[in-house]
Structure 1
Amino acid sequence: MRGALGGPRVLLRRLREVMAEPVSAQDRLDKIVVLIAANMVAEVCSIYVLRVDGTLELYATEGLNRSAVHLTVMRIDEGLVGTVAREAESISLSNAQAHPAFSYRPETGEEIYHSFLGVPILRAGNTLGVLVVQNRAHRTYTEEEVEALQTTAMVLAEIIASGELTSLATPGAEPAARRPVHIKGLGLSDGIGLGKVVLHEPRIEVIKIVADDVPGELARLDTAIETMRSSIDTLLEDEGVARVGEHREILEAYRMFAHDRGWIARMREAVMTGLTAEGAVERVQSDTRARMLRMTDPYLRERMHDLDDLANRLLRQLTGRAGGPEHPELPDDAIIVARNMSPAALLDYDHTRIRGLVLEEGAATSHLTIVARALGIAAVGHVENVVGLADPGDAMIVDGVGGEVHLRPPADVEALYQEKVRFRARLLEQYAALHDLPTVTRDGVALELHLNAGLLVDLPHIEETGAAGIGLFRTELQFMIASAFPRTNEQLRLYRAVLDAAGERPVVFRTLDIGGDKVLPYMRAVEEENPALGWRAIRLGLDRPGLLRSQIRAMLKAATGRELRVIFPMVSVVDEFDKARHIVERELTHLRRHGHGLPERVLVGVMLEVPSLLFQLDELLARVDFISVGSNDLVQFLFATDRGNPRVAERFDPLSPPALRALKLVADAANRHGKPVTLCGELASRPLEALALAAIGYRKLSVSPASFGPVKAMLRELDLSAAAALVEPLLADGASPASIRPRLSAFAEATGLPL
């Protein structure tokens, strides 16, 4: 560039000095444009800020008419400045007025300037404004000058993002960096949460962006890159990583990005303009994110996450936090914001402080969602770019019912949701009033409502709701939150506490359902191409009988003198049930031989979730004491749709005839054999779906604690014979609507059912 040698580095230091001065926001901007113009040897330097209404406002200028400041406003689809903001790409022209996008603004007096260089002011890939320099001469700006101006824009992004400029704005025209954002997503867990943003993986704050020693910063960057590459190579060489398959391909793509010469070159060039290694990584990450956010190709947009991860690895390396993201502190009203996370990661937080969960990914039937519902946390998924838009401490509203997220909500929206929270509280009071009333339909059919549970924090819900018992206790959650494999005595204490809390009410313990997306942190993960169909649940238990035996022994000891009910998950053939039941008999013999107390009665059943059992029902029902239907996996396997994949998880409706016919087949067979059957999947936790289940013959449902009141209230108002008369013809041969949901919804509305 034309300034003195080392001009960009000098400019960055002087900008830092101006930012530290105790002056007004406008004075600060006025000084900054003068500094940039002088350094760039430009006759004009202007700062345009993107406003909440989507327009760009001139906030400061050196060279144009000062009277145009805060007067000149243009749409984002207007002019060269609008093009830079919209595309998040720099524009350099020697004759700007000849460009078709040029928009003349007479109040600025810019008609005498011909050359134009505009760069977007970016933060986390989001456009906050545009920085422009202009000259009278038909000048071609060099790549070095473009790079230098982009680097300078980083400093301006900090000023805009801080909210300092809000005082200069008129109401309704504030800078968009702190604008309210309303995003529609997918409701995962009912409820409404108002609170403050906590990023699950906090962005690493780059404190120092101006380099004191450029060669030294280049060396730091190169060292961090080599360390990162080495760690990825080590991961790929790990024997636990599959040699072929999708997982391997993803890691190979990850390594390819880490060796991308263009990416490395851009970071090195950024250091050469005067940035520290950290500043260079952050700037290139933001530029890349801005471009990829505007791409329509879903594959390329997915790769944005890979590049984000790589950049964050580098930043952790450079800032001495290579051990990984630190666990953020939680305020009393935390809203956890993440791209995605495991159930164990959510359970690692103090859930009493969490008001909501917001994910860029997530699916309605994922295990993370199930845990969120169990904890009563409002959750919304598919919230695009929320990690880039939200800052720690931002106010946020999570509407798990409507699937909406309000970031930095205006006062009227916040007041509206506070009223909604009060309304929900009144509903909960109404549900509480049903505590001692039986779950009997209007036409006199008695049903049993049980609870799904998996943690000690779930146990008070038994008394609170008046549930008939625990229809499903997910024992794996204890294993997922532990730092080491729970010993038999630790398991025994948990199971005994569950039985004590239930009193005379029945409890159904499901043996370990690990594998797939439920990986224990202290066990070596086994990479599989199709983990949901792989080595998990009873398959793992039968192959590692010591694991299953220790759990069964703990359950039997905990139930001394009481009834014990156990189900085995993921059973595919009757022979697997026979082998699992033999382990129970063997442990009973062991306890009897060593003089231990025994349960008063042991009932053993199956979690029916694999479609193959639909064709073995008579053989199975001759052996089991009861059946529990796991609708989450059963529907997933019926339609061959990965319930953790947001692209297909909602593709098929569980209220479609194929799914309901399969479920009815089980209920009819169980009734024919005189064996109890309970549906304990998430399907039972939604009132409309619970209506359908009751209509096809289910008299025992196990639901999440948060769903207990709504489902019970609906069932008590239901005319079950009328519902059955509606549903049965819709499932008959030859009647094949895509879904019976619309007909059920119309029935519920016509009969005044509370949904």
Structure 2
Amino acid sequence: MRDTAGGPRVLLKRLRELMAEPLEPQERLDRIVRDIASNMVAEVCSLYVLRADSVLELYATEGLNPGSVHLAQLRLGQGLVGTIAASARPLNLSNAQEHPAFAYLPETGEEIYHSFLGVPVLRAGRTLGVLVVQNRTKRHYRDEELEALETTAMVIAEMIATGDLARLSRHGGLELDLRRSATIKGLAFNDGVGLGHVVLHEPRIVVTNLFNENSDQELRRLETALGSLRLSIDDMLERREVAFEGEHREVLEAYRMFANDRGWVRRLEEAIRNGLTAEAAVEKVQSDTRARMLHMTDPYLRERMSDFDDLANRLLRQLMGRAPEDVAATLPKDAIIVARSMGAAEMLDYPREKLRGLVLEDGTATSHVVIVARAMGIPVVGQAKGAVSMAENGDAIIVDGEDGTLQLRPQSDVEAAYAEKVRFRARRQELYRELRTKPSKSKDGVHVDLLINAGLMVDLPQLAEAGAGGIGLFRTELQFMVASTFPRAEAQEGLYRDVLDAAQGKPVTFRTIDIGGDKVLPYFKNTAHEENPALGWRAIRLTLDRPGLLRSQVRALLKAAGGRELKLMLPMVTELAEIAQAREIIDREVRHLSRFAHLLPTSLKVGAMVEVPSLLWQLDELMKSVDFVSVGSNDLFQFVMATDRGNTQLSDRFDPLSVPFLRVLKHIADAGRRNHTPVTLCGELAGKPISAMALIGLGYRSISMSPAAIGPVKAMLTELPVNEIKAFLEDNLGGPRVDLPMRGLLQTFADDRAIPL
């Protein structure tokens, strides 16, 4: 290149002029490769575009045989061009024919060229094609020339993304790779099948202004935006405020590391000096970095990829003066939300009537956004790695919450097969609706209360629709999690009264506020850093230390339940003294309201959740000190097995239907029966027919689950001989073996008796 400083700028200026001219797509490509060859003093410049069938097709060339355009092809991974596309890395060779991957295409006439520089055409880290320059003489291309070619490739990527190039191919209307169907395997977090269109939770910011008029001005804009970005990250770290679930301190530390990385900033500045705007520079460096990180073998470094993407998007928003977009305002009627991670409050920003599914790259089956999605009755697939970068807003997508699979841009036959699956599920739901009015009794006449878990008014219509016997767990903290400030006492009282009204006399168990741990309220500051928040200052521990919070909630509940029964449940109880302290606060509020002649509940029952293993050695004493007990199987399993339920490496490692944990659950049920204390289990175990069958066999006669689970569990119950499952479990749990494959044995038990699971 003759002018190492001016070359890229001159080339970008020419590209900008070409993009503005009213040219046909093929003519524009031909002019682009001609100008690149001229600018870089190259005898050849060629563009290959990746098709949906994983073939790289020659779309334009200067220097090779023009008759080979749209005829010359290489498979992904074949030859130097295929190698670049597969690895998403450039190749700079002084003698291309000596490279082991070299493949000769006779129709192109390229055998006389030795030096070779090829770069991937990238968009959001995805390879869309390859751009190549070649010369007869043996030489290594300079770093400035590589930078110029990469910058040009970014402009071409936007052309490919518009879809204008697809019709140029002579190969039967094959689509380009950007529109290729993709299957992504994740984990099933909530049952159901959703067909719809992608709505990215944090939409990719599209940069339309690529070329700068004044490099110095763009560098100043970048410096200002970086300064604001660093300040905002430092501020978040100092205050440890959490915007959404999963954005913990180590993620913010990673953000700070990236934001202060001189190598990153230097690459941004270099792209600006070569003629890009600050926004285009961020997009180019982001795409280059993502492509490199996708091919790293180190899992830790690959995990940092999403941190880097989030940081780059924050910087883009700083540069463009744009707040995160309100996608809910323009939601399609069949929206499927695709996100890396999100909080429960963010999920509730979307109108329920338009949601058909949720896709998460992170998260676990027991994370709170999944619990909310389950309450809303929409299918959820989690751990769907790569979904955000592969998807575009508006893409057709199918979410299969039965097997944890995503079908992105599905073929018509795949879409038809899933549509039939949806119709089959609808017929099955019709059968469940027919069961709604039937008693929840087993085949041999044993009654079991089937209750629902709820937390917001959106859940309540499903109480009647599901035919449930009541609300076994009302999570009062969700009202706090979706609010921007502490809900006033009047707002709390209004919600609790509406819940009781909607229940129409069916029992409702209100769990007192369970915040702390991973349920962070942005307006509630915990100044102490907690290494293990799940084991820390949360639930009843927090409310006993902040009694004003518990007092105001109890007062609102007492007033809302005037003239009706009130059931209060205390979460995360570790020792009986906590129950005594909480009773003092409750009794004080009862006396206060009595003194002012408020209408009080006709009956007040106080219960405790069994979640902390210490209670397993105080069960008889516990049963005598409360009116009822609820088993929180999610946390109890987590603590008994020492398994962080938010850790995806451990989420499937241990089975709650193992002999040890089933023995724990039986121990609790037996203690309730001994002491004539009602015991309910409210957790994910209750919502699966196979585990609900086991719970009934262990002695549980009250279980609480998501509304959508009532139908399948009731269908199982009506065919279940309780005395047989009870004897089956006693035989298997009472023996010496703790390694029995209980899940498989339970499945065989059901199959032998035609019990639908």
Specify the TM-score bucket, using the shorter chain as the normaliser: over 0.9
Q: Give SS of 1:674's match.
A: coil
- Aligned-pair Cα RMSD in Å: 1.9
Distance 2:409 2:288 in 1: 24
Q: Deviations over 1:150-183 (max 9, x none)?
A: 0000011111122222223435842111111110
1:668 is aligned, of 660, 666, 670, to 670
State the shift of 1:251 in Å.
3.9
Find the counterpart in structure 2 of residue 337 from structure 1: 338
1:750 is aligned, of 745, 749, 752, to 752
Letter matched to residue 341 of structure 1: M
Q: Deviations over 1:93-136 (max 9, x none)?
A: 11111111111111111001111000011111111111111111
Q: Deviations over 1:485-532 (max 9, x none)?
A: 111111111111111111221110100011111112322255421111
Find the counterpart in structure 1 of residue 54 from structure 2: 54
State the shift of 1:269 in Å.
1.2
Find the counterpart in structure 2 of residue 83 from structure 1: 83
Distance 2:250 2:339 in 1: 24
Q: Deviations over 1:661-713 (max 9, x none)?
A: 11111001101111111111111011111111111111111110111111111
Find the counterpart in structure 1 of residue 654 from structure 2: 652
State the shift of 1:751 in Å.
2.2
Letter matched to residue 522 of structure 1: Y
Distance 2:64 2:240 in 1: 64
State the shift of 1:721 in Å.
2.3
Q: Answer with 559-568 or 225-234: which moved more.
A: 225-234
Q: Answer with 732-741 or 488-497: which moved more.
A: 732-741
Distance 1:237 1:502, change over 3 A: closer
Distance 1:694 1:600, change over 3 A: same
Find the counterpart in structure 1 of residue 597 from structure 2: 595
State the shift of 1:415 in Å.
1.4
Find the counterpart in structure 1 of residue 737 from structure 2: 735
Q: Give SS of 1:622's match.
A: helix
State the shift of 1:462 in Å.
1.6
Q: Deviations over 1:581-635 (max 9, x none)?
A: 2211111111111111111111110111111111110110011111111101110
State the shift of 1:21 in Å.
4.2
State the shift of 1:233 in Å.
3.0
Distance 1:16 1:714 in 2: 66
Find the counterpart in structure 1 of residue 35 from structure 2: 35
Q: Give SS of 1:317's match.
A: helix
Matched, 1:717 2:719: yes
- Does the 8 A contact of 1:187 with 1:379 survive in 2? yes
Distance 1:168 1:738, change over 3 A: farther
Q: Deviations over 1:448-479 (max 9, x none)?
A: 10111111111111211221111111111111
Distance 2:346 2:673 in 1: 41
Letter matched to residue 34 of structure 1: R
Q: Answer with 92-101 or 254-263: which moved more.
A: 254-263
State the shift of 1:544 in Å.
0.6
Distance 1:420 1:525, change over 3 A: farther
Letter matched to residue 260 of structure 1: D
Find the counterpart in structure 1 of residue 422 from structure 2: 421
State the shift of 1:260 in Å.
1.4
Distance 1:355 1:250, change over 3 A: closer
Distance 2:194 2:455 in 1: 23
Q: Give SS of 2:203's match.
A: coil
Q: Give SS of 1:265's match.
A: helix
Q: Answer with 613-622 or 738-747: which moved more.
A: 738-747
- Does the 8 A contact of 1:356 with 1:378 survive in 2? yes
Find the counterpart in structure 2 of residue 25 from structure 1: 25
Q: Give SS of 1:110's match.
A: coil
State the shift of 1:637 in Å.
0.8
Letter matched to residue 717 of structure 2: L
Distance 2:623 2:396 in 1: 53
Distance 2:239 2:432 in 1: 53
Q: Deviations over 1:204-232 (max 9, x none)?
A: 22121111111221222222222222333
- Does the 8 A contact of 1:9 with 1:211 survive in 2? no
User: Which runs of structure 2 are paired with 1:103-502 in the superposition (5 Å)?
Assistant: 103-169=103-169, 170-171=171-172, 173-238=174-239, 250-321=251-322, 323-324=323-324, 326-327=326-327, 329-502=330-503
Q: Give SS of 1:643's match.
A: coil
State the shift of 1:83 in Å.
1.5
Distance 1:86 1:239 in 2: 41
Letter matched to residue 625 of structure 2: R
Find the counterpart in structure 1 of residue 519 from structure 2: 518
- Does the 8 A contact of 1:653 with 1:739 survive in 2? no
Q: Aligned residue pairs: how many?
A: 750
- Does the 8 A contact of 2:166 with 2:173 survive in 1? no
- Does the 8 A contact of 1:729 with 1:735 survive in 2? no
- Does the 8 A contact of 1:3 with 1:40 survive in 2? no
Letter matched to residue 28 of structure 1: R
Distance 1:231 1:598 in 2: 49
Distance 2:506 2:326 in 1: 42
Distance 1:229 1:401 in 2: 42
Distance 1:654 1:142, change over 3 A: same
Distance 1:20 1:355, change over 3 A: farther
Letter matched to residue 688 of structure 1: I
2:693 is aligned, of 686, 691, 694, to 691
Q: Give SS of 1:383's match.
A: coil
State the shift of 1:724 in Å.
2.4
- Does the 8 A contact of 2:5 with 2:274 survive in 1? no
User: Which runs of structure 2 are paired with 1:520-535 in the superposition (5 Å)?
Assistant: 520-526=521-527, 527-535=529-537
Letter matched to residue 287 of structure 2: S
Letter matched to residue 749 of structure 2: F
Distance 1:211 1:578 in 2: 69
Distance 2:358 2:482 in 1: 18
Distance 1:28 1:214, change over 3 A: same
TM-score by length of 2: 0.96
Q: Answer with 716-725 or 545-554: which moved more.
A: 716-725
Q: Answer with 550-559 or 727-736: which moved more.
A: 727-736
Distance 1:687 1:134, change over 3 A: same
Letter matched to residue 528 of structure 1: E
- Does the 8 A contact of 2:51 with 2:57 survive in 1? yes
Find the counterpart in structure 2 of residue 70 from structure 1: 70
Find the counterpart in structure 2 of residue 100 from structure 1: 100
State the shift of 1:427 in Å.
1.2
Distance 1:486 1:231, change over 3 A: closer
Q: Give SS of 2:149's match.
A: helix
User: Which runs of structure 2 are paired with 1:5-16 in the superposition (5 Å)?
Assistant: 6-16=6-16
Matched, 1:700 2:685: no
Q: Give SS of 1:111's match.
A: coil
Distance 1:184 1:330 in 2: 25
In structure 2, runs of 5+ residues without a counterpart are: none
Distance 2:120 2:672 in 1: 65
In structure 1, runs of 5+ residues without a counterpart are: none
Distance 2:80 2:740 in 1: 50
Q: Deviations over 1:30-77 (max 9, x none)?
A: 222222222222111111112222222212212111222222222222
- Does the 8 A contact of 1:53 with 1:172 survive in 2? no
Find the counterpart in structure 2 of residue 567 from structure 1: 569
Distance 1:149 1:461, change over 3 A: same
Distance 1:27 1:240 in 2: 53
- Does the 8 A contact of 1:730 with 1:737 survive in 2? no
Distance 2:51 2:249 in 1: 44
